[in-house]
Amino acid sequence: MLIIPAIDIKDGKCVRLTRGEFDKQKIYLDNPRDMAIIWRKQNAKMIHVVDLDAALTGEPVNFDKIKDIVSTLDIPVQVGGGIRSLEMVERYLDIGVSRVVIGSAAVTNPELIDELLKRYSASQIVVGIDAQNGVPRIKGWTESSGMKDYELALSMKKRGVKRIIYTDISCDGMMQGVGFESTRQFAMKAGVKVTASGGVTSSEDLKKLKTLQKYGVDSVIIGKALYETNFPCQKLWYNFEKGMDIDRNFSSALRRECCS
């Protein structure tokens, strides 16, 4: 179970939101790059970065901040938030981003997924599904997609998508536990690799998610729980990644998966 720390950027700063509500934010550091360095020193193998401003506007407001993170780190960085065009995907991949996460555009412009998968590997193009009560929400979680989460997943699977980042919005940032049942139901129906996201609060949440590996859940993005130091990162990652030959093999293997 790969653990991926999240860095959300708003107004150039590293923040965390509660249930994606922009008026409920907490600033952790003024420079997101510094946060990325901290997670890397804590032995993170991948970083998940979201441009929250872009999620609302569709414009890469924090592009330079993200470029700074990518150029600083020696591990893969996946980026999401407002990526709705081929040109934007190209810009991110050109600066060294390993995976690009397509969210709203998977609903509003699914043909973009077809075009991207013609040009790039499925390991570089990931779809993000952020669902509330089983219904994906788009444009910074401000609008409903009007379909079921698994329906969107199956549609993306037919187009060639191999991995989906699944977030249960009702749990995100609440520090009350992961949306285990919603994630389980989604993974069972989707039939793709799943990165779980939203609500992880303790090592018990991770133990529960680990039981979903048989359904394709092989990684988890953690945000507020790490920022609020609910559990020590080094011990956490050691326990859930033991068995992997991390130091010699895993980082390079992950890079190959992301960039092949």
Pick the CATH number of 2-259 from 3.40.50.300, 2.40.50.140, 3.40.50.2000, 3.20.20.70: 3.20.20.70
Per-run averaged pLDDT (10 residues), the chain, 260 residues: 93 80 78 94 92 89 96 96 95 97 92 97 95 81 78 96 91 66 94 91 88 95 84 68 49 51
Q: 218 an active-site residue?
A: no
pLDDT for res 250: 43
Per-domain boundaries in the chain: 2-259
Q: 53 an active-site residue?
A: no
Of 53, 130, 149, 205, which is the active-site residue? Answer: 130
pLDDT for res 7: 96
pLDDT for res 194: 97
For 247-256, the CB contacts below 8 A with 24+ separation are 250/45, 251/45, 251/74, 251/75, 254/2, 254/45, 254/46, 254/75, 254/76, 255/75, 255/76, 255/98
SS (H, E, C) the chain: CEEEEEEEEECCEEEEEECCEEEEEEEEECCHHHHHHHHHHCCCCCEEEEEHHHHHHCCCCCHHHHHHHHHHCCCCEEEECCCCCHHHHHHHHHCCCCEEEECHHHHHCCHHHHHHHHHCCCCCEEEEEEEECCEEEECCCCEECCCCHHHHHHHHHHHCCCEEEEEECCCCCCCCCCCHHHHHHHHHHHCCEEEEECCCCCHHHHHHHHCCHHHCEEEEEECHHHHCCCCCHHHHHHHHHCCCCHHHHHHHHHHHHHHC
This prediction has a pTM of 0.86
